[in-house]
Structure 1
Amino acid sequence: MLTVNQTKNALLDGASIEEEPYTSPQDSDEFFESLDKPAKEPTKLEPRNTFIRAGVLTTVRGSAYMEYGNTKVLAIVAPPKELLRASARRMNMGVLNCYVNFAAFASGDLDSVTERERHLSGMLTKAMEPVVCRTEFLNFQLDIRVLILDDDGCLLSTAINCCGVALVECGISTYDLVTASTACIYRDHVFLNPSAKIEELARKHRRGSNAVQEHGLIITASMDTFEQIALCKQYGYLSIVTYIKLLDYTLAVNKSLRQLVRGVLTKRVKEQHELDLREKAESALEDQRLEEIIEKLKKQGPEEFIQSNIREDPYVKRQ
């Protein structure tokens, strides 16, 4: 039987809001009335305007950058490293650690940054563990680091998408491509890919007078090939019917994102293949040039070859 439990809002506690926008239920009502409200039943299950780039950093093997609307995330994956003997434990799979950090300019509330980073790191680790083939690097540790450059909602789902691309770029074995999205409900209106202020509105709603009314959000990370869910995070008061409805919405958005991610990775492979061909051609030309020099050395001898390649400096006057 499907059960819905109310949990602490670890994700929304990490939303980057410059200042407290809702100090009273009246402020929440005024902001909600000013919104361009979507239909109660969304017809277009599509992601935000999205930009993804793999291999943005040349100093690391796996990296990716993603813009999901105004939310900007950078992910870095380092190759697995062997665990120290003191910390190594008998286990049948490797260790995966995710670390989330906010850029200094990405958050207005510096007092809660550490707590927000800790919560997001834990949830990102839970989302990525079912994706990575950890049985292939026993007694090794894989670190994924995420830098939040800007947060305008859908922060956790954007980080999951970005990390999935970075893992493939790094060459880490995964069971499938992972994609994630967020859906929010407030006063019977469903917000797909909500902004940070709408997420905050759902959190502040519990303090108002209509606390019994359905409100909250759901974040879903899925692997479509095997029809598996890597992570499903729910916050707020949702009935079972509403929960399943929002889950279906997020899974539909995930499928659209999957096609986008596949296109980005396919383009990256083609670019890398063209780069390899160019490097091979340049290497072949260099080998040919060296062969010509060796042939001249054999025919002329070292001294004659050196004398034939000496050029006078045109700026030096002869005496």
Structure 2
Amino acid sequence: MPVDTKRVRGPEESQSPLLFVRADAGAKPRSLQHRTDGRSAAEPRPVFARAGLVSQADGSVYAEYGRSKVLCAVYGPRESDRKEERRLSGATLGCEFRFAPFSCKMRAAWIQGTLEKEYSSIMEQSLQPAICLHKYPRSQIEVYVMVLENDGSTLAAALTCASIALAEAGIEMFDVVVGCSLRQCGDVSLLDPSAAEEYSASSSQEVDNGSLTVALLPTLNQISGLVSKGEWQEQTSVEAIKACVEGCQKLYSVVQQCLTKSVKRKNPQLVSKA
């Protein structure tokens, strides 16, 4: 019989992936003050990041935010393909954010969706103020982010990973960009929310029920990007932004350690001299 070589055949005997899902996965917290993973409301998830894993890219990083897993690759700066872009005085930045088909509970399509396009645009606007684009005329810098597992706060993780990958690629920057998200449920602010906390609706009918993502330049202490959804009171929104800024400052040390290890790995002579 003819064989369809373009189709990927699965194993003859297989098990449902639902058998390996934890019993508490997707469960709602009994109380907003006591989250399912044991964190307090103002405590971010543990972060692991390592740079230089994609050999074909000029800069790359793999990061884990709890169960969220993000891979980022940076290519450039290189000569622009479009003639109209060559006339610009500085480089052009292009960002592409994608969810892997297996990253969500419902299988994602290969075609870039509306949310992915929105996140790509937000990344581009948030990263531009941090890059010295004027030093790379008639060139382009491309940033690709792939979410391997989505457990919430993926936009904030993508912003941080993209900044690390840009610095690892040797692109001159005014400062790195660190992202942090917050979920507001009434009087409770959940920093770095998981997927269950991010999409669950508040039990009360109060006004403050939304989400917030902040992109911060920690050394310059400037906000390069802010995305807010839902209904907020003025005082609550100000406190939420302050909480996200503090969360970004906490993650800044992780970014510094990741870049320091990358430099030592590329230049082992620096370690021997020290």
* TM-score range relative to shorter protein: 0.7 to 0.9
Counterpart in the other structure of 2:173 = 174
* Cα contact 2:71–2:148 (8 A) shared by 1: yes
* Cα contact 2:264–2:270 (8 A) shared by 1: no
Q: Which runs of 5+ in 1 are unaligned?
A: 1-17, 19-30, 279-319
Matched position secondary structure for 1:87: helix
In structure 2, relative to structure 1, the CA distance for the partners of 1:85 and 1:60 (3 Å cut) is closer
Matched position secondary structure for 1:180: strand
In structure 2, relative to structure 1, the CA distance for the partners of 1:73 and 1:43 (3 Å cut) is closer
Which of the two has greater helix per residue? Answer: 1
The one-letter code sitting in structure 2 at the alignment partner of 1:161 is T
Q: Between 80-89 and 68-77, report the one with greater CA deviation.
A: 80-89
Matched position secondary structure for 1:234: strand
Counterpart in the other structure of 1:253 = 247
Question: How much has 1:195 moved relative to structure 2?
Answer: 1.0
Counterpart in the other structure of 1:135 = 134
Q: Between 227-236 and 43-52, report the one with greater CA deviation.
A: 43-52
Counterpart in the other structure of 2:62 = 65
Is 2:212 the counterpart of 1:218?
yes
In structure 2, relative to structure 1, the CA distance for the partners of 1:200 and 1:277 (3 Å cut) is closer
The one-letter code sitting in structure 2 at the alignment partner of 1:110 is A
CA distance in 1, matches of 2:271, 2:255: 24
The one-letter code sitting in structure 2 at the alignment partner of 1:158 is A
Matched position secondary structure for 2:60: strand
- Give deviations 1:80-106, integer Å, cap 9, x for gaps: 122235332643321100011221211
CA distance in 2, matches of 1:161, 1:63: 12
Question: Which residue of 28, 33, 36 corresponds with 1:38?
Answer: 33
Identity, % of aligned positions: 28
The one-letter code sitting in structure 2 at the alignment partner of 1:37 is L
* Cα contact 2:62–2:72 (8 A) shared by 1: yes
Matched position secondary structure for 1:174: coil
Counterpart in the other structure of 1:300 = none
In structure 2, relative to structure 1, the CA distance for the partners of 1:147 and 1:232 (3 Å cut) is same
CA distance in 1, matches of 2:79, 2:225: 27
The one-letter code sitting in structure 1 at the alignment partner of 2:50 is R
- Give deviations 1:7-40, integer Å, cap 9, x for gaps: xxxxxxxxxxx9xxxxxxxxxxxx76x434228x
Counterpart in the other structure of 1:86 = 83
Q: Who wins on radius of gyration, i.e. which is larger? A: 1
In structure 2, relative to structure 1, the CA distance for the partners of 1:226 and 1:277 (3 Å cut) is closer
Which of the two has greater strand per residue? Answer: 2
Q: Which runs of 5+ in 2 are unaligned?
A: 1-17, 19-26
In structure 2, relative to structure 1, the CA distance for the partners of 1:142 and 1:187 (3 Å cut) is same
* Cα contact 1:45–1:252 (8 A) shared by 2: no
CA distance in 1, matches of 2:82, 2:103: 38
In structure 2, relative to structure 1, the CA distance for the partners of 1:209 and 1:127 (3 Å cut) is same
In structure 2, relative to structure 1, the CA distance for the partners of 1:260 and 1:85 (3 Å cut) is closer
Question: How much has 1:109 moved relative to structure 2?
Answer: 4.7
RMSD: 2.6
CA distance in 2, matches of 1:53, 1:176: 19
Where in structure 2 are the equivalents of 1:272-287 lying within 5 Å? 272-274=266-268
- TM-score with structure 2 length normalisation? 0.80
